[in-house]
C-alpha cells in the first residue's frame, strides 16, 4: 500500500527515546523517575525530526506506566513521588494534554498502551499520544538512608485517569498465606513444571536456561542503556556462586530480572494526518501491523502449570493480523523476566532457543535491566530504531505481566498499513471458558506433587512451596513446608520431586506438606485434650456445668490477634469435647469492650495474620456447635467482635453495649461471617446500612430487632448471661444438643414440610437416650429431673 493511500486517521509511531544513568559513573545526576521519563520523552519528540515545540503542543494524551513504588498497596516511595506522574512529565516537555492516564501495573503495560492509544487515534478521538515510563530504583535505594537525600515529591494540577493497580487475580489470601507473593517463586513453579513435562533432569534443564540467556548478555553488553553490560557464558549464568546465589530453585540471581535500574523510555504515536501536518518525515514512520492483548487464567486455575497458552494465542493472533508468519520476522523481543517467559512463547511458536535472529533487542530484563513495568517500552524503542534501518522488515514485541498472566503483543514495520482492529475480545472469551481446576483451600491427606520450588534467603534459610493434587478427590492444593522440616526440603531440592507423594495437613495458618503422615505428627503433635492450666490471652472459669471464657486483652479493647484466636479455638475445642460442660459464656475483660474485633495494630506491624480453621475466636467458622454458647456483651462489640456475637447461639448485652460492623471504615469487609449472618438476622435494608456505613446499634435497638436476647443494667451482662445459662441447665442437655443439631440441619431447607419431616439421626438418638426416659419419668413423678446427658 502506498503512503498516499493511507487513511489519514491511521496511527503511526513517529518517535522513540530512552534515558539511563548508573550510580558512580560520569554524568550521573541522581534523576527522579519523572526526570528520567522526561529525558526519554524529549528524545522521543526530537526523534520525530519535526519542530519540537509544535510536536509537544499537538500531544493531547499522555499515558504513564506505573513505577514499582506505586504498583502495590502499601508500597513506599522513600524519596517522594509525583501526585500526577503523566502530567509531571508532560509539563517538562512543554505539553498540555487534555487527557492523562496512569495505567495498571504489569510488564504488558507499554505494549498495551500502544495498542489501546493506536485504536483511539484510529477512531479519531486523539491526534497525538505520548507514552512514558521510568524507574529510578537504583538511585532511590542508594539514597533512602542518606542524610542529604533528594526529594522527588511534586504536586501537579490536572485530572488523572488512574486505573488502579490491576492486581485482581494476581494476589490472593491463599498466595500470601503460603509465601507465594514473590515473582521468582511463582515463575519457578512454572519452570519446574515445564522441566518435568520435557522429562529433563535438573542439570540438563539448567544448561538449557543458560544457553537461552547467554546470547542476551551479548546484546546487553553492546547496549549503552544496559544496567549489567557484561557478556557471560551459559555455564556462568547457572552456576551458583556467592555473587550468583540461588534465589528460588532453579533460578540463580543471574537468571532473573534485575530491578536496580535507572532507566526511562517513551514512544510517540500520532495519526498520519497529524504527522503530515507537523512535517514528520515519512522515513520516521513505523506502523503497527498486528496487535493483541490477552489474559491467562489465574495461577491455580490453569490446567497445565508448565505453560501459558494465552501468551502464545496473543502472539499468533498479532502475526495473523499482520498477515505474516514467524519466519517473516527480522527482530524479536520476548519479555524475559525469567527463562520460562521466553521459552513458553518459543515452544508455542516453534522458535528455537538459538534462533539466529535473537530473542531480544535490548539484552533482556536480567541484563539490560528490568525497568519495573516499563521494560517493553525500551524494547519498542530499540525495535523502532532497528526497523528504520531495515525498511520493510518486521519486528515483534511480546510483553508479559503478572505471573505469565497478561500478554500484549505488537508487530511493527515501516511498511505502510492501515489500522486493523484485533479479535482479542473473542479469544479472551474462549480463554475464560476454559475449565478451571477445583481447588482445596484446606487440604488434608495424601497428595501428588504437580510442581514445587525451594526458596533460599540470604541467611541460608530454605522454604519449600508445593502445588499438588489430593489423591482422594483430585483437587489442587497449595502448601508450604514447616520450619525445620529438612526431610521435605531434601525431597524437593534433591532428585525429581514432581510426581512424588507428600502428606498435607491444613491449619489456620495454611497448608503444610511433608514426606509422610508420621512425619506430620512429629512436626505438629496433636494438642493435648482438655483445658490447659493457664492461658496468656484468655481466662477460663468452670462453674459446674457452665464454662465462662473471658477475652483478657483489655489494653486493646479485647481485640484479637493470632495467639488470642488460637487460644480461644483451643478452649472451645475442649468445651465441645467435655461431656460435663453443657453451656459456655463468652465475655470480655473490663467494661469498655466485649471485643473490638481484629487487632489492627498487630496487623499493621507486618506480623503474619491468620485465624484458626474454626474462624475468629474459634467460633465464626465452626461447624457442629451442638452445645449452647452465650455472648455476654459488655461494651463495644465492633467488627470481628460483633461477628463473634452473631456466631453465638444467644446474646445478653448490658444497656451500654454497642454493635457495629465497622470494617468499611478501615478498608476491610466483615469476612468472618458478618456479611452472611447479619442479613439473615435483620431486615435487609437495616443490615445493608450497617454493613455499608458502619452504623451502630444500641443494646435496646439490638433487642428490638432480635439480635440480642436480653438487656441488663450497665456492667451486668455477665450476670445476665449466668442467669440465662441457669435456665438452659433446667432442660435436658441431650435435648438441647439434638435441638441445635436439627435446627442446623434444616436451616437450608426452604420448604417447611420438608424441613419438618427431615429425618435426623439426632432425633432417633434422643428417643432412646437416658434423658428422654428420665424426663418423662420425672414428669410423671412430679419431681425435678436428674439429667444424665447420655
Active site residues: 643, 663
Give CA–CA dist 192/235, Å, rounded. Answer: 19
Q: Which three cell numbers stand for residue 10?
A: 491511521
Residues 6+ positions from 546 with CB-CB distance below 8 Å: 581, 582, 583, 584, 585, 722, 725, 729
Give CA–CA dist 499/490, Å, rounded. Answer: 15
Instruction: Give, rounded to a whole angstrom, the gap between the first and last alpha carbons of the chain.
Output: 91
Q: Which residue has the cell 492444593?
A: 477
- Nearest to 263, CA basis, from 398, 377, 407, 395: 377
Cβ pair 87, 158 in contact under 8 A: yes
Residues 6+ positions from 40 with CB-CB distance below 8 Å: 17, 18, 19, 132, 134, 264, 265, 266
Q: Which three cell numbers stand for residue 396?
A: 515483534
> Dihedral (C-alpha) 639, 640, 642, 646: value to the nearest 10 degrees?
140
Give CA–CA dist 238/334, Å, rounded. Answer: 20
Q: Which three cell numbers stand for residue 632?
A: 455476654
| Helix residue ranges per DSSP H, 593-660 | 600-604, 640-647
Q: Most distant CA pair in the chain: distance in Å?
A: 110
Handedness of CA 308, 310, 314, 316 (dihedral sign): positive
Q: Which three cell numbers stand for residue 448?
A: 501428588
| Helix residue ranges per DSSP H, 234-355 | 234-238, 272-278, 309-322, 339-349
Beta strands in 613-714 (DSSP E): 629-633, 636-638, 650-654, 658-660, 697-698, 710-712
| Interhelix angle 202-221/339-349, nearest 10 degrees | 100
Amino acid at each position: 500500500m502506498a503512503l498516499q493511500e493511507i487513511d489519514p486517521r491511521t496511527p503511526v509511531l513517529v518517535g522513540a527515546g530512552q534515558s539511563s544513568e548508573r550510580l558512580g559513573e560520569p554524568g550521573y545526576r541522581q534523576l527522579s523517575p519523572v526526570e528520567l521519563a522526561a529525558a526519554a520523552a524529549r528524545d522521543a519528540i526530537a526523534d520525530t525530526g519535526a519542530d519540537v515545540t509544535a510536536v509537544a503542543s499537538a500531544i493531547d494524551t499522555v499515558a504513564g506506566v506505573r513505577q514499582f513504588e506505586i504498583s502495590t498497596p502499601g508500597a513506599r516511595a522513600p524519596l517522594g513521588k509525583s501526585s500526577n506522574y503523566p502530567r509531571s512529565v508532560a509539563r517538562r516537555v512543554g505539553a498540555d494534554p487534555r487527557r492523562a492516564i496512569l495505567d495498571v501495573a504489569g510488564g504488558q503495560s507499554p505494549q498495551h498502551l500502544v495498542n489501546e492509544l493506536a485504536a483511539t487515534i484510529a477512531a479519531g478521538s486523539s491526534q497525538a499520544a505520548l507514552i512514558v515510563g521510568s524507574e529510578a530504583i537504583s538511585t532511590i535505594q542508594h539514597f533512602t538512608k542518606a542524610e542529604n537525600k533528594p526529594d522527588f515529591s511534586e504536586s501537579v494540577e490536572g485530572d488523572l485517569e488512574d486505573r488502579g493497580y490491576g492486581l485482581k487475580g494476581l494476589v490472593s489470601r491463599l498466595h500470601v498465606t503460603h509465601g507465594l507473593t514473590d515473582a521468582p517463586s511463582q515463575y519457578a513453579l512454572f519452570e519446574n513444571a515445564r522441566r518435568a513435562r520435557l522429562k529433563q533432569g535438573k542439570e540438563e534443564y539448567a544448561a538449557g536456561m543458560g544457553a537461552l540467556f547467554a546470547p542476551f548478555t551479548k546484546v546487553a553488553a553492546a547496549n549503552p542503556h544496559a544496567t549489567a553490560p557484561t557478556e557471560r557464558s551459559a555455564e556462568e549464568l547457572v552456576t551458583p556462586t556467592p555473587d550468583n546465589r540461588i534465589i528460588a530453585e532453579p533460578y540463580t540471581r543471574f537468571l532473573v530480572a534485575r530491578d536496580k535500574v535507572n532507566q526511562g523510555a517513551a514512544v510517540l504515536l500520532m495519526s498520519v494526518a497529524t504527522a503530515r501536518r507537523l512535517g514528520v518525515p515519512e522515513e520516521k514512520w513505523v506502523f503497527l501491523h498486528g496487535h493483541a492483548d490477552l489474559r491467562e487464567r489465574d495461577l491455580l486455575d490453569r490446567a497445565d502449570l508448565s505453560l501459558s497458552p494465552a501468551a502464545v494465542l496473543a502472539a499468533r493472533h498479532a502475526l495473523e493480523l499482520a498477515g505474516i508468519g514467524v519466519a517473516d520476522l527480522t527482530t524479536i523481543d520476548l519479555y524475559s523476566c525469567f527463562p520460562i517467559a521466553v521459552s513458553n512463547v518459543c515452544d508455542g511458536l516453534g522458535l528455537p532457543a538459538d534462533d539466529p535472529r535473537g530473542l531480544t533487542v535490548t539484552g533482556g530484563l536480567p541484563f539490560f535491566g528490568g525497568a519495573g513495568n516499563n521494560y517493553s517500552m525500551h524494547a519498542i524503542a530499540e525495535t523502532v530504531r532497528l526497523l528504520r534501518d531495515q525498511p520493510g522488515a518486521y519486528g515483534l514485541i511480546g510483553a508479559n505481566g503478572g505471573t505469565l498472566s497478561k500478554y500484549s503483543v505488537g508487530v511493527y514495520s515501516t511498511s505502510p498499513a492501515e489500522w486493523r482492529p484485533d479479535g482479542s475480545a473473542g479469544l479472551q472469551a474462549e480463554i475464560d471458558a476454559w475449565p478451571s481446576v477445583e481447588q482445596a483451600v484446606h487440604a488434608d491427606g495424601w497428595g501428588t506433587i504437580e510442581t514445587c520450588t525451594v526458596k533460599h534467603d540470604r541467611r541460608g534459610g530454605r522454604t519449600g512451596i508445593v502445588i499438588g493434587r489430593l489423591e482422594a478427590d483430585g483437587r489442587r492444593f497449595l502448601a508450604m513446608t514447616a520450619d525445620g522440616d529438612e526431610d521435605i526440603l531434601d525431597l524437593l531440592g534433591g532428585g525429581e520431586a514432581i510426581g512424588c507423594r507428600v502428606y498435607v495437613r491444613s491449619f489456620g495458618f495454611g497448608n503444610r506438606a511433608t514426606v509422610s503422615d508420621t512425619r506430620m505428627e512429629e512436626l505438629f503433635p496433636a494438642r493435648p485434650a482438655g483445658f490447659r492450666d493457664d492461658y496468656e490471652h484468655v481466662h477460663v472459669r468452670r462453674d459446674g456445668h457452665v464454662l465462662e471464657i473471658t477475652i483478657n486483652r483489655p489494653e486493646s479493647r479485647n481485640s484479637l490477634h493470632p495467639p488470642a484466636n488460637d487460644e480461644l479455638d483451643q478452649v472451645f475445642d475442649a468445651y465441645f469435647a467435655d461431656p460435663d460442660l453443657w453451656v459456655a459464656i463468652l465475655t470480655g475483660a473490663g467494661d469498655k469492650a466485649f471485643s473490638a474485633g481484629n487487632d489492627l495494630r498487630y496487623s499493621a506491624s507486618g506480623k503474619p495474620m491468620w485465624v484458626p480453621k474454626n474462624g475468629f475466636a474459634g467460633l465464626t467458622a465452626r461447624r457442629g456447635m451442638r452445645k449452647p454458647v452465650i455472648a455476654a456483651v459488655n461494651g463495644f462489640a465492633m467488627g470481628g467482635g460483633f461477628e463473634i456475637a452473631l456466631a453465638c447461639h444467644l446474646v445478653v448485652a448490658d444497656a451500654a453495649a454497642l454493635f457495629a460492623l465497622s470494617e468499611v471504615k478501615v478498608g476491610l469487609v466483615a469476612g468472618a461471617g458478618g456479611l452472611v449472618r447479619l442479613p439473615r438476622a435483620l431486615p435487609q435494608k437495616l443490615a445493608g446500612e450497617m454493613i455499608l456505613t458502619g452504623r451502630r446499634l444500641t443494646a435496646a435497638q439490638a433487642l428490638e430487632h432480635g439480635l440480642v436476647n436480653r438487656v441488663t443494667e450497665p456492667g451486668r451482662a455477665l450476670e445476665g448471661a449466668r442467669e440465662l445459662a441457669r435456665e438452659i441447665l433446667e432442660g435436658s442437655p441431650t435435648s438441647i444438643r439434638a435441638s441445635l443439631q436439627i435446627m442446623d440441619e434444616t436451616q437450608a431447607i426452604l420448604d417447611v414440610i420438608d424441613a419438618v419431616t427431615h429425618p435426623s439421626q439426632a432425633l432417633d438418638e434422643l428417643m432412646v437416650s437416658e434423658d428422654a426416659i428420665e424426663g418423662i419419668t420425672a414428669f410423671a413423678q412430679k419431681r425435678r429431673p436428674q439429667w444424665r446427658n447420655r
